[in-house]
Amino acid sequence: MKEFDLISRYFSNGGYKRRDVVIGIGDDCAVTNVPENQQLAVTTDTLVAGVHFLDSAPAKSVAYKTVAVNLSDLAAMGAEPAWISLSLSLPEVNEDWLAEFVEGLYELTQYYSVQLIGGDTVKGPMAMTITAQGFIPPGSELTRSGANPGDWVYVTGTLGDAGVGLDILQNKLTVEGEARDVLVNRHYYPTPRVAVGTAIRRIATSCIDLSDGLISDLGHVLEASGCGANIHVDRLPLSRAMTSAVDTKTAIEYALSAGDDYELLFTVSEEQRGILETSLASTNVKATCIGQLSGHTEKLSLFKGDKPYEAATENGYEHSF
């Protein structure tokens, strides 16, 4: 199949259509309108087969995750997603695989009112690169560097599920029944917390999405903000599926270091803490306070009860070259 035939058949006419897209797929560039009094947030992520997703992963989940990780970055900045472009590298054209891939792509973009406005297709090792763009009111963007000693540390959802799901798929862990389905789906289909990001952008002092594990990603906030943190591992939100699959200590280790959860970690001052629950009510997402920032620069201290806790690893996932 020729490149332009592929684009025409699978990408030109489907998906969500936005009024602010003047020219979409089909020309040398897309043309869009940025709303008045809005700033543009831009992020790019590449997912490579065998590195970011299993070679055996369903095509629908590959597309879903490729979009979700980018929307999660926008969520961490407090941005409302608007447009994506896709660069797709494939070793060959498999029409069944492509049809399923497009289904996953458009399912998520439809849900979040995001339009695919362009990109590229090439022959090569399987990889997908998405550039996502969204809007933020001036002065309300969330960053990693705004946290202060005394701020409270929150995380959305539950932690560690995607890591357990990956180990199940790699036959490192045996789990059966409903718990297996829940954990595997959490790995295949992460949920970008877009609504939470926009709800907390005038409340939170800092924010990051959890892509590489709690310890690793919290470390980025501590470094950028010049703070330390006291985290209580017995407060980490753990799903029923995970606690039924592994013992409590193992569950805590997954929650601390496993990546791919794409939950949000954010900090809130004591003064704003009281209105947080009200702000999150419309999102239907629970946020759990797991600790507090300290003045000890970049020092992360873990506790279980009133005793220090030593994690099995001090790092989450990190790319190497």
Ordered domains of the chain (ranges, CATH): 3-136 (3.30.1330.10), 152-308 (3.90.650.10)
Q: Which of 70, 54, 50 is nearest to 125 (CA)?
A: 50
Mean pLDDT of the chain: 93
pLDDT category at 321 given cuts 50, 70, 90 is very low
pLDDT of 26 reads 85
The response to whether 27 counts as a known ligand-binding position is no
What does the pLDDT look like over 149-159, one tens digit per residue?
A: 999 999 999 99
The response to whether 144 counts as a known ligand-binding position is yes
pLDDT of 14 reads 76
Phi-psi region of 141 (alpha: psi -120 to 50; beta: other; left: phi over 0): beta
What does the pLDDT look like over 143-181, one tens digit per residue?
A: 999 999 999 999 999 999 999 999 999 999 999 999 999
pLDDT of 114 reads 97
The response to whether 212 counts as a known ligand-binding position is yes
For residue 21, the SS3 value is strand
Share of the chain above pLDDT 70, in %: 97
What does the pLDDT look like over 88-127, one tens digit per residue?
A: 999 998 999 999 999 999 999 999 999 999 999 899 999 9
Separation CA 231–CA 227 (nearest Å):
13
The response to whether 313 counts as a known ligand-binding position is no
Q: What is the pTM of this model?
A: 0.93
| Whole-number Cα distances in Å, 210 to 32, 107, 183, 277, 297 | 30, 23, 17, 21, 21
What does the pLDDT look like over 202-225, one tens digit per residue?
A: 999 999 999 999 999 999 999 999
Structural element, H or E, at residue 170 = none
For residue 64, the SS3 value is helix
Separation CA 92–CA 84 (nearest Å):
23
Share of the chain above pLDDT 90, in %: 86
The response to whether 45 counts as a known ligand-binding position is yes
Tokens of 215: 């310890």
pLDDT of 316 reads 57
The response to whether 296 counts as a known ligand-binding position is no
- Segments of 49-151 assigned E as strands: 80-90, 115-123, 127-136
**Mean pLDDT within 60-78:** 97
The response to whether 20 counts as a known ligand-binding position is no
The response to whether 234 counts as a known ligand-binding position is no
253: pLDDT strictly greater than 70? yes
Other C-beta atoms lying within 10 Å of the C-beta of residue 131:
17
The response to whether 9 counts as a known ligand-binding position is no
The response to whether 167 counts as a known ligand-binding position is no
Count Cα atoms within 13 angstroms, Cβ side, for 194: 24
